[in-house]
Amino acid sequence: MNERLPVTKTYKLFIGGKLPRSESGRSTVTKAPDGQVFAHTCRASRKDLRDAVEAARKALPGWRSATPYLRGQILYRMAEMLEGKRAEFIESLRAVDGRAEPDAAAEVNTSIDRLVCFAGWADKHQQVFGCANPVAGPYHNFTIAEPVGVSAIVVSSPSRPLLGLVSLVAPALASASAVVAVSDETNPIPACVLGEVVATSDVPGGVVNILTGTHDELVPHIASHAGIDAVLSAGLSPAHRATLLEGAGANLKRVHAIENPGDFADELRFEGPSALEPFLEFKTLWHPSAT
């Protein structure tokens, strides 16, 4: 009897609540440390990015109008689904970079906990960022935080490909922004599995979109796309950061860059209210007082 050949999985993109292949038909081989092929991932194109932004813009009004409590419940449901795929996430981390199981498990555990953390922030950040401002005159003056809109997230974190992505996506969702995320290039598999988690959770289609591909190809299109309201990157090269800033000058999108995210373990930095700020803008309201 001939030895059976295993079926190598091709991980898909996640756009508009579905798992399509890249329209370009391209894929990238992801290998294990011993050189064996572990899986294939789709290589997203400019058209895939445009489709993801279109899906995010379509989903944004419904996500913004959802109650903060509901958004928190949906983030918690994501944590539950990630917990259910915990073993698969650990395998995807170990198979590609050969790390020890305790370290891979620690990254998955922290990613789950971070989702739970921002599930809690969803209905509380308004109390932190909003305020009543003292003014002279017969007026009330209030500042409230609102979601910036469609946010692009680009992560380069070879040592923490899952935690890096979750650490940026979770606060965007808690702030009621819609997301177009580009995974780490070195190990995109956890991002693909995260797409499968979102697909089977309660997140409305289009609120989260995940692309795998090369940053050299996708970053310039993110910079030039006028349908993207804000960009948050972590660990990108100086050249890619400069490209994003040039795009901001042309179309006035907001660009935030975390140059040295480390291993994303800093709780104050990645679980505190400052993690939500890149995805928020502030509106001040004046209202006549009764006196």
Give, in degrees to the nearest 5, the angle at Cα 214 between 212 and 215: 105
> What gap in Å lies between CA 221 and CA 211, rounded to an integer?
13
> What gap in Å lies between CA 165 and CA 161, rounded to an integer?
6
> What gap in Å lies between CA 149 and CA 218, rounded to an integer?
20
Q: Average model confidence (pLDDT) for the chain?
A: 93
Q: What is the mean pLDDT of residues 47-66?
A: 97
CATH number assigned to the domain with residue range 14-21+45-288, chosen from the 4 options 3.20.20.150, 3.40.605.10, 3.20.20.70, 3.90.1150.10: 3.40.605.10
In this predicted model, what pLDDT tens digit does every residue of 235-268 receive, in sequence order?
999 999 999 999 888 888 999 999 999 999 898 8
In this predicted model, what pLDDT tens digit does every residue of 187-222 receive, in sequence order?
999 999 999 999 988 999 999 999 999 999 999 999
Q: Is the pLDDT of residue 73 over 60?
A: yes
The predicted model scores a pTM of 0.92
Higher pLDDT, 217 or 34: 217
Share of residues in the chain with pLDDT > 70 (%): 99
> What gap in Å lies between CA 177 and CA 278, rounded to an integer?
10
Higher pLDDT, 269 or 49: 49
Token pair 């756009």 is found at 15
Q: Is the pLDDT of residue 1 over 60?
A: no
Please name every residue paired with 179 in a beta bridge, in sequence order, or none if there are none.
151, 208
What's the residue count for the chain?
Answer: 291
Q: Is the pLDDT of residue 290 over 80?
A: no
Q: Is the pLDDT of residue 29 over 80?
A: yes
> What gap in Å lies between CA 71 and CA 66, rounded to an integer?
7
Contacts of 196 (CB under 8 A, 6+ apart): 14, 19, 85
**What's the pLDDT at 291?**
59
**What's the pLDDT at 248?**
86
Contacts of 197 (CB under 8 A, 6+ apart): 78, 81, 82, 85
Q: What is the mean pLDDT of residues 58-72?
A: 97
Residue type, 162: L
DSSP string, 80-132: HHHHHTHHHHHHHHHHHH---HHHHHHHHHHHHHHHHHHHHHTTTHHHHH-EE
Using alpha carbons, list the distances in angstroms from residue 108 to 102, 137, 273.
10, 53, 22
> What gap in Å lies between CA 43 and CA 256, rounded to an integer?
25
DSSP string, 165-176: HHHHHHHHHHTT
Give, in degrees to the nearest 5, the angle at Cα 168 between 163 and 171: 120
Please name every residue paired with 72 in a beta bridge, in sequence order, or none if there are none.
none
**What's the pLDDT at 155?**
96
Q: Where are the domains of the chain?
A: 14-21+45-288
